[in-house]
Amino acid sequence: MSTLQVRDLRVSVEDTEILKGVDLTVSSGETHALMGPNGSGKSTLAYSIAGHPKYTVTGGTVTLDGEDVLSMKIDERARAGLFLAMQYPVEVPGVSTSNFLRTAVTAIRGEAPKLRTWVKDVNAAMAELDIESSFSERGVNEGFSGGEKKRYEILQLALLKPKIAILDETDSGLDVDALRTVSRGVNSARESTDLGVLLITHYPRILQYIRPDVVHVFYHGRIVETGGAELADRIEAEGYVRFGEPKEAVS
């Protein structure tokens, strides 16, 4: 049982405060949906937890099972059990996906996986996510389509087996079939490893496949409302107007 705890987190980018006191607790087996308008700071929250150097934490705490996440290096956070499926996965030319996956899993587990079972595991995970085997020879995300990149993020999730995963708009850019495939991948990780999930999305549709325990509304740098799955439908119907003036009007 693991718990990611975010307390009063404040984050700035180039002297602009983006996160203005975020409180959130995600434990193993739980799925939290996070919805909010463009620019409200959802990715900022995700990247800050993962340790992206562009973001400066100016206040608050993030802990994983009581350990101070903010004092960990980026790779230490991943090895502690955090995973971020990025909104815009990064291309790393020339680094083959197979080499990358093996290097990553070796780093996370602290030892190289046994070659025979590893190849089998990768192939099975790729098949489950409808990723063609030819991808193993390609560079990491190199020339992948938008949807392929998202699937590849979930492949990594399946192989790295984190404790808590943040999925930043993994559903954006997926066709209907891919959305089902990817959701199946996330659900099987939830079942097999008791994964805790923070699922950032704009669309209630993915929530029909990945049922959230709670839905949070993120607005202007903080969580402004928390409710059940029905909250997502209400947002779909009403938008975010009731949470305040349009963002532009707020100084």
Partner 1 sequence: MATLIQSGPAEHEVSLSGPGAQTTGSPAERFTSREPEAFEVPSSRDEVWRFSPVDRLRPFFEVFEPDGVIQADNTVPDGAHVDVVEPSSTAAFGRALEPADRVSALAMANATRGLHVRVDANAELSEPIVLVRKGISGRSYGHHVVEVGANARATLVLDHVGEIQIAANMEIVVGEGAQLSIVAINDCEPGSIQLSSYAAMVGRDATYRHINVSLGGDIVRIVPTVRFSGRGGRAELLGLSFAGPGQHFETRLFVDHGEPDCSSDVLYKNALEGENARTVWIGDVRIRPEATGTQTFELNRNLVLTDGARTDSVPNLEIETGEILRAGHASASGRFDDLQLFYLQSRGIPADEARRLVVRGFFAEVVNRIGVPQVQDRLLAAIEDELMRAGT
Interface with ligand ATP, residue 84, by CB under 6 A: no
Structure tokens at 8: 């009063």
79 binds, among Mg ion, ligand ATP, partner 1, none (CB under 5 to 8 A by kind): partner 1
Least gap, CB of 55 to ligand ATP (angstroms): 9
Size of the site for partner 1 (CB under 8 A): 31
16 binds, among partner 1, Mg ion, ligand ATP, none (CB under 5 to 8 A by kind): ligand ATP
Interface with Mg ion, residue 28, by CB under 5 A: no
Using CB under 8 A, which of 89, 185, 196, 212 touches partner 1?
89
Nearer to ligand ATP, 49 or 158 (CB): 49
Q: Which helix H or strand E contains 161, and what residues bound it?
A: none
Half-sphere exposure of residue 246: CA atoms within 13 angstroms, side-chain side:
2
Report the distance separating Cα 196 and Cα 31, nearest Å.
6
Least gap, CB of 172 to Mg ion (angstroms): 9
Interface with partner 1, residue 51, by CB under 8 A: yes
Interface with partner 1, residue 104, by CB under 8 A: yes
Cα 177 to chain centroid distance, Å, stands at: 20
Enumerate residues 86-125 that contact ligand ATP by CB under 6 A: 87
Enumerate residues 78-107 that contact Mg ion by CB under 5 A: 87
Name the pairing type of β-strands 16-27 and 82-85.
unpaired
DSSP 8-class letter at 114: P
Report the distance separating Cα 190 and Cα 174, nearest Å.
20
Q: Is 226 left (phi over 0), alpha (psi -120 to 50) or beta?
A: beta
